[in-house]
Structure 1
Amino acid sequence: MSYIIEPMPLISFLEDGKLRLPRFQRKATWDKKQNFELAISVFQDYPVGVVIVNQEQKISWLLDGRQRRSALSSMRDNPVELYEWARSYIGFAKTADELEVKSKYWEKVERYLQTEEVADNDEDDVNQYGEDDESDTDAEENSFDSAKQRRGLQTLLDIILMVHQNKPSGSKWEQTFDFRKYFSRLKYAPIKNNSKIEPKALRRFILELLKAAEQDNEGECTQDFFVEYYLQNFDVKDQDKFEKDVSIKWDNILNSLDVVDRSEKVFTDARIGIIRLTNATPLDAQNIFSRINRGGTQLKAEELLSAKPYWNKSVNLVEQAVVDRIKEMYKNLGIPAPDSIVRWDIAATFISRIKDENLIFDTYEDVRRKKEISMDEISLGFKLLSSIYAQGMSNKQVSELEQNESIKWESDIDELLQQLNTVCSILLADTFFKFYQSWKRSITKLMGNAIALEFLTIMWLDWKDRGCPSSVSGETKALQRDARILFDKLVFEYATKTWRGSGDSKMSSDIKNWKQRVTPVDSEDWKNFITGACMGNYNGQDTTIKILKPVLYYYYVITNCSPINQVNVSFDVDHIIPKDRFVGNNMVAQTYRDSLINLALLPTKDNISKKAKALNEITDSWLKLQISTYTGIKEAEFEQYSDIANISLLYNARSKLFTIAFTSNRTTALSK
């Protein structure tokens, strides 16, 4: 990778038709306040920050700066939108007189600039546009033309006053140029019936008119020239009334021409900084972004991939269901769906087409119903493909997919999807995973993305190694057994913190040596862990809810326990003896608080949750039944196990349950 840093005329940046946006784009997060403060910087002749562009195969992609570019384009092209930002930021009423608008404008702008000036003196600070502050006082005094700055801010105010007031029928500026009754068609009101003035088109028309005046009338736009320009460009219906209307409005027209002209000169003089990368890797681009824009939203790996030629190659022969899912994704992203389907789209929607019934991956249906997008769902699609094709899920391995010329995107990905769905159907037919699935806790949610990806990838490799079975057979039963063994191992490694360091590197190593992963954990190792976990300490470290949660779910699976009356009820880990009963109690070992014997899966819905109540404080009979079922404690024993002084009795009773489960029950479950 190489890079250069260069200034670019702001107008060139805004009008560069060859500068592509990544296929994946964040939803706009800048509000009117941020937009107008950027406008102040532009008209104040301050730097407007830097943007990041990556050039690859002679194509330039805007990696960072889309929202800034959008805001700059809007403030240049649409005075009415700029006015609405100003009204929101400054806080003047819709019907305020000009004196009030002027007064509040200067008060708010000067207060903002003064605040920024104070903030800029912080030597460790970086301003909102990513520029480091200079400390040389003499340089600061000579850096800017104060008269030019004042003229720029006056021009910004004049734009606001030109538009004010903005009514449903149109702003004062639009009404000034509303000559629709005299012409059958106006360039800036192109619809014949019920036409409206289009602010962007009106501004472009004014600039064209001024350019014509510059060329044909020695730079002076007189009233006669103005009238003649309209007559030459549009079919007039009533010339006399038009000329009379222009005469009445001439002062406002002349002012508008002047304001638009001065505004365009501000943008003509402005510059923006471009960091132009060449063939940047996603990691390089992310690191560069984070170092120059500490306050910005971190660039997503998916955003960077969508700005690479490899991922923007079209894919043909896509099923309608896939097309519909891709359209839904773009709708949730809040951007128009592109006309063509490309590789990025296929990868981004890959996880959503895996029929695992949320056994492995989380459900994202609730997110979709809210018309949002799950970044996990998109990211996992790329990572799963790289896990299979590049034997790992790191950003580097995802990038390596670009070197894999053997992938036929028109057919291979669909074939892979069918294979994965076959593997999932085999697992879902197994009693062990039926019990696990009943708890509605996917492997991603229970132990994380890396473990979930390893689990499915190894099961796919195992399935391929067994000859790709699809019907009930000895091979499918062997695959189910291997899946139980691998699940057992993943829970054990998660709980014992074997997954230390980089999940990326461990997962990659595990995939490369996948046959070693489907060998059982030694029974004695599990027994030692359960013994320590019941006391709240293993290998010299206190246990936590986080590491014991998968163990609890696994316990319910191997004891053939599933939720009862589970409709609209979710479960999570709760304490049997509440946490606050351990505070300040020196008679009881504090490690028991988050030990295995003091934890259970219990309903979490607000009106039935146990929360901080002791067992003898529960009055709901339905909840009592749930507690008895999932803790193994009879209701008659609730009083006894509500007293923290009886923690040793609780230990004796529940440690036996866990020991039996992880010796006898576990052995039976893994050997079926």
Structure 2
Amino acid sequence: MYEIRPESLKSFIEDTNIKLPRFQRKQTWDDKKNFQLCISIFKEYPLGVSILNVEDNGGLKTRWLLDGRQRRNALTKFYRDPENVYLWAKKFIGLKATDQLLDIDEKFWKKINEYLEEDELNEEVDENSNSEYIGVENLDQDELNETEQKYDKSKTGLELLLHIIKLTHNKSTKYSGFTRPFDFTKEIPNLPYSIVNENGKKVLSSLKLKSFISEYKNYCSNDSLDYTLEESFEQFMKYRFSFDDKTQRNIELKISQRWDNIFERIDILDKINNLYLNSKIGLIEVKNLKSVDAQKIFNIINSEGTKLSAVEILSAKPSWNVVIKNPNEPQINAIKDLYKTINVINEDIVKWDLPATLLNRIEYCNLFFKEFNENSKTDFSKSITLGFKILAGKYQNGVTKDDIDKLGRNKNIHWESEFEEFVGDLNTVSKLILSSDYFKYLKSWKFSIITQLSDAISINFILLTYKDWVRKGKPIGNDLRVKQLQKNAFSILDNSIYEYVTKIWRGSSDSKISRNLAEFNNQHDIIKPISDNKWNSLLNEILEDSTIDGNPINQGLVQPILYHFYAISKIQGPDTNYKIEVDHIIPQSLFKASTIENKEVIVHNIFNLALLPKDENVSKSNKKLTEITNEWLIDEIKKYEFIDLSDFRKYSDLNNLNELKELRGEIILNAFKDKRNNILNN
């Protein structure tokens, strides 16, 4: 006998009558799984089902939790102490103490996109945000409120989760971003939320602060006060603590200066409380099971399952299951390969199959996308989703989930004929673009827009170049319009690399792609490129300061510029049999062992990076130039790093770092000034 019913998360975690059987697995998930559960909470996804065995002993009921212990533990830890989500996010997202707020934005959305198996989220991210991280250790208490972004009470979902993470960052030895507005330790030595940590130092506890805030709200409720008002908090502090007039004035001054930030924390706790009140978890209650039955149920419900992907959800929609009546041979073969990969026998070919196989039908797609590993579920799902987004961009002028849904219901598309025509057009456009010198050189270095930039930029590039080709009348051969198409393709990628590096492309990009598609028809026949001054300013900042817009560089941001430089400079990549490595000319090991200031950033400066061929048994790897003995590799270094053999010893010494910067910096700047202009003006 069993009963299935929903219960609020709050009731589930606060039920003290729930007991744990001994055969349960360990109590806690790892930090990554805990954070994934938080994503589900803020996305308001279903939170699974827990199994309870209810025993009735003479009217005294005990509820044994057969399944859901780790879930309940994670739910409880986050509810009691919201700072836990920051600790979990550090592992899931890969946050570092030195990360600035913009870095957190970028890392958060990237990991969220990967986890949800979406290329981009529909939630809009403020692309104009210029928030900065300021170390909390160096701030005067009265200045803390000036470092906060203005609180937006309307934040919900993943934006609220991100806000909590950014609010807590960066934890110091004394407090975190969450607790610091409540730091009254100078005025009140024994704050109830001040504890002594394992190192013997006093710190502010967010766990105890939550209890203190609950105490404040209870006080307001009992005295019919509005807890959202500053005066109520001042009155509570006066009631709660005994202090003299001078201390009271100091406390009231700090409350006045920090009230927006204090109330922000209170409001966030309210939002979390409401989430727990309104979110439901499914409970299956069975009654008076024997221990062997309980053990068996636990084993059954915890057997390995298969995660439902976004692609599988799309394939279940009726609008995508319309039969294609007369598929041609290329379609049949591509779809046969698709179903062979997923180990499913298909009968009819349906509409869903066409966009799902689009990328496999593009003959020259490695530059735009990459070689997807059919044995990787992530790669497989991504390649299918990209096909849907490209078709949605063509027909719906947008790439969101809603656009894809509308694509499936668009009755003006003649799928039997138009899809095949579009495949042919994409192959023609790709071939024309790749026949230009710049893209030939870029391809020779195995450059991939997806790998070096992002999924969104690759979609944006292929859709804009396709639209440009169509508006030019679909030219082929040596037509002047083909030259204009190739020049525009260069400008689109040049702009994209610049915008990626300067973080204009970040967070959710669906809306940016839609804007670009909508605005494209109003652009001139020859697309306006990024100005020389912008590139020169960016490159000089990287070379001289190792920063981009004042933020420290990293290898991932500099790498696309490096590939761009080699292609602009008309430097042919190695034979196709070789792999490519991004080499640190002065190796990372030397920087690591040095006392150079900012060494962990300077090591990735573009003047210290070069592209090199990598043979199976021969590569430079982390060696100094003087340690290279293979003659073939020495020749490759001379050719691609622009360093004479006589200078190998010089550039194996960190003391000559500035000389390396002068040597290679000048080459890079000249390439972006002269050789880039040659491409744009010819």
User: TM-score, normalising length from structure 1?
Assistant: 0.57
Q: What is the count of residue pairs matched by the alignment?
A: 422
Return the offset for 1:655: 0.5
> Secondary structure at the residue paired with 1:601?
strand
Q: In the alignment, which of 343, 364, 387 is matched to residue 351 of structure 2? A: 343
CA drift at 1:554: 0.7
Q: What is the distance in 2 between the residues matched to 1:403 and 1:486?
A: 31
The structural deviation recorded for 1:298 is 5.0
Residue in structure 2 matched with residue 175 of structure 1 by the alignment: none
Q: For the residues of structure 2 that align with 1:555 and 1:340, how far apart are their CA atoms?
A: 49
Which residue is equivalent to 1:429? Answer: 435
**1:304 equivalenced with 2:313 (yes/no):** yes
Write out aligned runs for 1:234-313 (5 A): 298-313=307-322
CA distance in 1, matches of 2:507, 2:473: 35
Deviations 1:436-479 (A, max 9, x none): 11112221222121111111101111111111112321111111
CA distance in 2, matches of 1:453, 1:344: 19
Q: Which residue of 2 aligns with 1:458?
A: 464
Give 1:526 deviation, angstroms. Answer: 0.4
The one of 580, 586, 592 equivalent to 2:589 is: 580
Give the secondary-structure state (helix, strand or coil) at the position aligned to 1:551.
helix
Query: 2-side partners of 1:372 and 1:511: how far apart?
Result: 27
Structure 1 residues 126 and 532, CA gap change in structure 2 (3 angstroms):
closer
- Cα distance in 2, alignment partners of residues 508 and 646 from structure 1: 48
AA of the residue aligned to 1:421: N
For 2:434 and 2:401, the matched residues in 1 are separated by 30
CA displacement 1:613-638 (0-9 Å, x = unmatched): 11111111111111122211112111
* Structure 1 residue 361: Cα displacement: 1.9
Contact 1:362/1:445, CA 8 A, preserved across alignment: yes
Question: Which position in structure 2 is the counterpart of 1:513?
Answer: 519
User: 1:551 aligns to what?
Assistant: 561
User: What residue number does 2:537 align with?
Assistant: 528
On the 8 A contact 1:359/1:443 being kept in 2, the answer is yes
Check whether the contact 2:326–2:416 (CA below 8 A) recurs between aligned residues.
Answer: yes
Partner of 1:333: 342
1:496 to 477, 502, 511: 502
Q: Which runs of 5+ in 2 are unaligned?
A: 6-23, 25-45, 50-63, 77-278
Structure 2: which amino acid aligns with 1:506?
Answer: K
Question: Aligned match of 1:362 in 363, 366, 370?
Answer: 370
Report the counterpart of residue 261 of structure 1 in structure 2: none
2:404 maps to 398
Cα offset, 1:352, TM superposition = 0.7
> Does structure 2 retain, via aligned residues, the 8 Å contact 1:491–1:550?
yes
Q: Distance in 1 between matches of 2:462 and 2:391?
A: 11
1:633 aligned onto 2:643: yes
Quote the offset at 1:639 in angstroms: 0.5
Q: Distance in 2 between matches of 1:151 and 1:589?
A: 61
Aligned to 2:448: 442
Distance 1:309 1:133 in 2: 28
Shift of 1:119: 7.0
* Partners of 1:491 and 1:551 within 8 A in 2: yes
> Residues 126-170 of structure 1, C-alpha deviation per residue, up to 9 Å, x if partnerless?
89xx99597xxxx98xx51336x75898xx8xxxxxxxxxxxxxx
Inter-partner Cα distance in structure 1 for 2:379 and 2:500: 29
Work out whether 1:571 is the aligned partner of 2:571. Answer: no
Alignment partners' CA distance in 1, 2:507 and 2:488? 26
> How far did 1:118 drift?
9.4
In structure 2, distance between residues paired with 1:484 and 1:474:
16
Secondary structure in 2 matching 1:421: helix
Q: State the secondary structure of the residue aligned to 2:415.
A: coil
Rounded Cα–Cα distance in structure 2 between residues aligned with 1:605 and 1:482 = 35
CA contact (8 A) 2:395 2:407 kept: yes
For 2:378 and 2:497, locate their aligned partners in 1 and report how far apart those are by CA, in whole Å: 32
Contact 1:582 1:588 in 2 (8 A): no
Residue 520 of structure 1, CA deviation = 0.6
Q: Tell me what 1:619 maps to.
A: 629
TM-superposed CA distance for 1:356, in Å, is: 1.7
Distance change (3 Å), C-alpha of 1:568 and 1:122:
closer
Of 312, 318, 323, the match for 2:327? 318
Q: Decide whether aligned partners of structure 1 residues 133 and 539 sit closer, same or farther in structure 2, where only a CA change above 3 A counts.
A: same
Name the aligned partner's letter for residue 471 of structure 1: G
1:569-594 CA-to-partner distances (Å, cap 9, x unmatched) read 11131211112222353345524211
Structure 2 counterpart of 1:409, one-letter code: W
* 1:91 matched residue in structure 2: none
8 Å Cα contact 1:348/1:379 also seen in 2: yes
- SS of the aligned residue for 2:573 comes to coil
What is the correspondence of 1:460-475 to structure 2 with a 5 Å cutoff?
Answer: 460-475=466-481
**Distance of 1:551 and 1:494 partners within structure 2:** 10
Distance in structure 2 (CA, Å) of the matches to 1:371 and 1:299: 11
Shift of 1:646: 0.5
- Determine if contact 1:588/1:645 at 8 Å carries over to the other structure: no
Contact 1:125 1:132 in 2 (8 A): no
Residue identity in the other structure for 1:477: K
The counterpart of 2:604, out of the listed 594, 599, 608, is: 594
Report the CA distance shift for 1:448/1:122 in structure 2 as closer, same or farther (over 3 A): closer
Partner of 2:193 in structure 1? none
Closer, same or farther in 2 for the Cα pair 1:559/1:408, shift >3 Å? same
State whether structure 2 residue 660 is matched by structure 1 residue 650: yes
**TM-superposed deviation, 1:421:** 1.4
In the TM superposition, residue 555 of structure 1 has moved relative to its aligned partner by: 0.5
| Counterpart Cα distance in 2 of 1:121 and 1:424 | 50
CA contact (8 A) 1:332 1:371 kept: no
Deviations 1:386-438 (A, max 9, x none): 11112222222212213422111111111111111111121122111111111
Counterpart in the other structure of 1:380: 386
* Aligned-pair CA distance for 1:668: 0.4
Q: Tell me, yes or no, if the aligned pair for 2:319 and 2:409 is still in contact at 8 Å.
A: no
Once the two structures are superposed, what CA deviation does each residue of 1:174-227 show, in whole Å capped at 9, x if it has no partner? xxxxxxxxxxxxxxxxxxxxxxxxxxxxxxxxxxxxxxxxxxxxxxxxxxxxxx
C-alpha contact (below 8 Å) 2:607/2:661 kept by paired residues: yes
CA RMSD of aligned residues (A): 3.8
SS for the counterpart of 1:445 is helix
For residues 331 and 308 of structure 2, the distance between their equivalents in structure 1, rounded to whole angstroms, comes to 27
Write the distance in 2 (CA, Å) between the matches of 1:434 and 1:567. 13
- What residue identity is the alignment partner of 1:343? K
Distance in 1, matches of 2:355 and 2:67, equals: 48
SS in 2 for 1:513: helix
CA separation of 1:151 and 1:646: change in aligned 2, threshold 3 A: closer
Q: Are the aligned partners of 1:333 and 1:372 in contact in 2 as well (CA < 8 Å)?
A: no
CA distance in 2, matches of 1:132, 1:124: 14
1:144 aligns with 2:270: no
Distance in 2, matches of 1:121 and 1:547, equals: 38
Residue 124 (structure 2) pairs with residue 124 (structure 1): no
Q: Residues 489 and 520 of structure 1 are in contact (CA less than 8 Å); yes or no, is this contact kept in structure 2?
A: yes
Q: How does 1:80-91 map to 2 (within 5 A)?
A: none
Q: Is contact 1:315–1:342 with CA below 8 Å preserved after alignment?
A: yes
Q: Is 1:485 matched with 2:497?
A: no
Q: Is the 8 A contact 2:543 2:605 kept in 1?
A: yes
Q: Which residue of the partner structure matches residue 77 of structure 1? A: none
Q: State whether residues 384 and 457 of structure 1, in contact with CA within 8 Å, keep that contact through their aligned partners in structure 2.
A: yes
2 CA distance for matches of 1:321 and 1:445? 28
| Structure 1 residues 152 and 494: CA distance shift in structure 2, 3 A | closer
